[in-house]
Amino acid sequence: MAKESSSIPCTPLLKDELDIVIPTIRNLDFLEMWRPFFQPYHLIIVQDGDPSKTIKVPEGFDYELYNRNDINRILGPKAACISFKDSACRCFGYMVSKKKYIYTIDDDCFVAKDPTGKEINALEQHIKNLLSPATPHFFNTLYDPYREGADFVRGYPFSLREGARTAVSHGLWLNIPDYDAPTQLVKPRERNTRYVDAVLTIPKGTLFPMCGMNLAFDRELIGPAMYFGLMGDGQPIGRYDDMWAGWCTKVICDHLGLGIKTGLPYIWHSKASNPFVNLKKEYKGIFWQEELIPFFQSAVLSKECTTVQKCYIELSKQVREKLGKIDPYFTKLADAMVTWIEAWDDLNPPKVAAEVPNGPAKGK
């Protein structure tokens, strides 16, 4: 009997319903390693930095590429809400996508291997996480009860076993951990070698530090909350873009009854960023977060907030009122949050597929 070739891929999950968003300042050679997993999908590349620089994309990928000139042309004055010279610019890709799901990855993240040596299809695991329910209202001690070989443990309320819709799948990293600058300086040689074969739902009322380098989400459920803030050029803070988005998103998911999962899948984070450069970017954030966390922990949204946009606008008002006292930056950020929602609604009018004017560079 003829042996079936293992090189023949199965039909990719959500092939026509998911965009991969990649922020970059360099040629995307890293895509070669991801080719078996990413090539069937559409890529949205957000080029940061000098728009006159040509970014090379390996042949065979279907992609759109947006640089700063494209962002300015498409958003006009509202482009001020999109960060420059910072990976926070990736959220522009979320805005212009027309797909239901988004996966975003950094260009220094490679394919990891599980303990058996098998290459991990991170995208496939994220999709599985998003397509199965979450359990934010009651913690299951066997972690994900919907996973094969697991279930709800004794004492888990039957009334909660349908779970909640999953809005976000937060993946992890082998090799270089996602540490802040002080921890990098104290542990310069530390590498993460622990592969924990688990996915768990972050409980309602619990915040978490969301890393944007290996992240997937349901754009229709939570997309407008995935604003990565004002970071980088001209701003007093950096490296808190994904943190800010995560805190806002978690408050809104809790309010709307949505779930966020963390754990599998792993990617291989190949490159440690400079801890001294990071410290300069993070310096104010390290102090500010001691006030930001209590703010988000105590944030309450009104019952009139029935959509992500309404939630986000109300949260922006609380940011202006309460965090604006810490530093004028937060008043500016609150304004940008409103601008972000306005721009999102401009490009994504309800029930109408918005055409992006003056389309971007495309490739195959």
Would 2 be classed as within a structural domain?
A: no
For residue 272, the model assigns a pLDDT of 83
Q: What is the mean pLDDT of the chain?
A: 94
Cβ(244)–Cβ(146) below 8 Å = no
Q: Determine the average pLDDT of the residues in 311-334.
A: 98
For residue 362, the model assigns a pLDDT of 62
What percent of the chain has pLDDT above 70? 93
Q: Taking 70 as the threshold, does the pLDDT of residue 110 lie above it?
A: yes
pLDDT band at 361 (very low <50, low <70, confident <90, very high): low
For helices 275-298 and 241-256, what crossing angle results, to 10°? 20
Lowest mean pLDDT among 25-34, 170-179, 342-351: 342-351
Would 287 be classed as within a structural domain?
A: yes
For residue 358, the model assigns a pLDDT of 46
Q: Phi/psi class of residue 198: alpha, beta or left (left: φ > 0; alpha: ψ in -120 to 50)?
A: beta
Structure tokens at 244: 């800010």
Would 294 be classed as within a structural domain?
A: yes
Q: Taking 90 as the threshold, does the pLDDT of residue 8 lie above it?
A: no
Q: Taking 50 as the threshold, does the pLDDT of residue 319 lie above it?
A: yes
What tens digit of pLDDT does each residue of 218-273 get?
Answer: 999 999 999 999 999 999 999 999 999 999 999 999 999 999 999 999 999 998 89
Longest alpha-carbon distance in the chain: 74
Going by C-alpha positions, the residue among 69, 216, 206 that lies closest to residue 137 is 206
pLDDT band at 353 (very low <50, low <70, confident <90, very high): very low
Q: Taking 70 as the threshold, does the pLDDT of residue 171 lie above it?
A: yes
Q: Taking 90 as the threshold, does the pLDDT of residue 359 lie above it?
A: no
Q: Which helix (H) or strand (E) holds 267?
A: strand 259-269
Q: Determine the average pLDDT of the residues in 269-289.
A: 95
What percent of the chain has pLDDT above 90? 92
Q: Taking 70 as the threshold, does the pLDDT of residue 3 lie above it?
A: no
CATH number of the domain within which 280 lies: 3.90.550
Structure tokens at 355: 């055409």
Would 242 be classed as within a structural domain?
A: yes
pLDDT band at 350 (very low <50, low <70, confident <90, very high): confident
What tens digit of pLDDT does each residue of 31-63 get?
Answer: 999 999 999 999 999 999 999 999 999 999 999
d(CA 285, CA 274): 17
Residue-number span of the structural domain to which 225 is assigned: 18-347
d(CA 317, CA 132): 33
Residue 60: Cβ-neighbour burial (10 angstroms; 0-12, 13-18, 19+): exposed
Going by C-alpha positions, the residue among 118, 207, 205, 202 that lies closest to residue 168 is 202
- For residue 193, the SS3 value is coil
Would 300 be classed as within a structural domain?
A: yes
Q: Please identify which residue in the block is written with the tokens 């890709």.
A: 93
Domain count, the chain: 1
More confident residue, 359 or 308: 308
Would 13 be classed as within a structural domain?
A: no
Would 313 be classed as within a structural domain?
A: yes
Q: Taking 50 as the threshold, does the pLDDT of residue 355 lie above it?
A: no
Would 52 be classed as within a structural domain?
A: yes
For residue 11, the model assigns a pLDDT of 82
**Would you give the DSSP letter of residue 192?**
B
HSE-up of 327 (CA within 13 Å, CB side)? 13
Distances (CA, A) of 16 to 29, 40, 223: 24, 9, 18
Q: Taking 50 as the threshold, does the pLDDT of residue 117 lie above it?
A: yes
d(CA 28, CA 25): 9
More confident residue, 8 or 189: 189
